Amino acid sequence: MTPNLTVDVDVIEQIEPPAGFDPARLIELIRFALGAEKAHGYWVVAVVLTSDKELRALHRDFMGNDVETDVMTFPTADEHGHDAHGGEIVISVDRAADQAPEFGLTPWEEVRFLALHGVMHLLGWDDHADDERSSMLARQRELIDKFDQSWMPSSERS
Residue 158 counted as domain residue? no
Q: Rounded CA gap, 155 and 11, in Å?
A: 20
- Distance, CA of 88 to CA of 147 (rounded, Å): 22
Question: Residue 158: its pLDDT value, please?
Answer: 44
Please check the confidence at residue 151 and state whether its pLDDT lies above 90: no
Model confidence pLDDT, tens digit, residues 91-129: 999 999 999 999 999 999 999 999 999 999 999 999 999
Backbone angles phi, psi at 19, to 5 degrees: -55, 140
Q: What is the pLDDT of residues 55-86, one digit of tens each?
A: 999 999 999 999 999 999 999 876 555 567 99
Is residue 130 in some structural domain?
yes
Q: Containing domain of residue 28, as a range?
A: 5-150
| Cα Rg of the chain (Å, integer) | 15
Q: Which region among 11-25, 27-41, 74-88 has the lowest average model confidence (pLDDT)?
A: 74-88
Domain count, the chain: 1
Helix intervals (H) in the chain: 23-36, 52-63, 93-99, 107-122, 130-150
Q: Is residue 155, in this structure, part of any structural domain at all?
A: no
Does residue 10 belong to any structural domain of this protein? yes
Residue 121 included in any domain: yes
pLDDT > 70? residue 90: yes
In a domain, 157, yes or no: no
Kindly state the DSSP code that residue 156 receives in the 8-state scheme: G
Q: Looking at the domain assignment, is residue 111 inside a domain? A: yes
